[in-house]
Chains A and B, each alone.
Chain A
Amino acid sequence: MTDICSLTLTELAGALQKKEISAVQATQACLERIAATEPKIRALLCTDANGALDRARALDKLGPDASLPLFGVPMTVKDALCTKDFPTTAGSRILEGFRPVFDAFAVERLRAAGAVILGKSNLDEFAMGSTTENSAFQTTRNPWNTDKVPGGSSGGSAASVAAGQCFASLGSDTGGSIRQPASLCGCVGLKPTYGSVSRYGLIAYGSSLDQIGPLARTVEDCARVFSVIAGHDRRDATSDPRPVEDVLSSLGCGSLKGARLGMPKEFFGQGAAAEVRDACESALRAASRLGAELVEVSLPHTRAAVATYYIIAMAEASSNLARFDGVRYGRRAENIHDLWELYVRSRSEGFGAEVKRRIMLGAYVLSAGYYDAYYRKAAQVRSLIRDEYLAALEHCDVICAPVSPETAWNIGTHSDDPLRMYLMDAYTLSLNLAGLPGLSLPVGLGAQSGMPVGMQIIGRAFGEVGLLALGHALEHALPSIGAPQL
Chain B
Amino acid sequence: MADKKIVSRDDVLKMADLSRLRVNEEEQKIFAGQFQDILGYMDTLASVDTDGIEPLYSTALHTGVLRDDVVAASLARKKALANAPQSNGECFVVPRIV
Q: Which residues of A contact B (CB under 8 A)?
A: 98-101, 194-195, 208, 234, 237-238, 240-241, 301, 304, 306-308, 310-311, 318, 322, 325-332, 336-339, 341-345, 347-348, 351, 353, 356-357, 359-365, 367, 373-374, 376-384, 386, 418-419, 422, 433-435, 461
Contacts and interface: CB of A to CB of B under 8 A. Distances in A.
Contact of A339 (B1, B39, B45, B94): B94
B21 A357 contact: no
B67 A311 contact: no
A101 B21 contact: no
Contacts of B1: 373
Nearest to A383: B56
Size bracket, chain B contacts: 35 or more
Contact of A331 (B50, B79, B85, B95): B85
A359 B44 contact: no
Contacts of A240: 60-62
Given A327-B94, A384-B50, A418-B34, A379 B23 contact: no
Nearest to A461: B61
Interface string B28-70: 0001001101110110111010100111111111100101000
A353 B53 CA distance: 35
A362 B42 CA distance: 12
Contacts of B12: 360
A361 B15 contact: yes
A380 B61 contact: no
A476 B92 CA distance: 56
Interface of B: 1, 12, 15-16, 18-23, 27, 31, 34-35, 37-39, 41-42, 44-46, 48, 50, 53-62, 65, 67, 75, 79-80, 82-86, 92, 94-95, 97
B58 A361 contact: no
Nearest to B60: A238
A467 B31 CA distance: 42
B42 A330 contact: no
B21 A360 contact: yes
B50 A377 contact: yes
Contact of A373 (B21, B34, B46): B46
B15 A363 contact: yes
Nearest to A345: B22
A353 B35 CA distance: 13
17 contacts: A98-B83, A195-B61, A240-B60, A304-B45, A327-B85, A327-B92, A328-B83, A332-B86, A339-B97, A345-B22, A353-B27, A361-B15, A362-B19, A365-B42, A379-B56, A379-B57, A418-B38
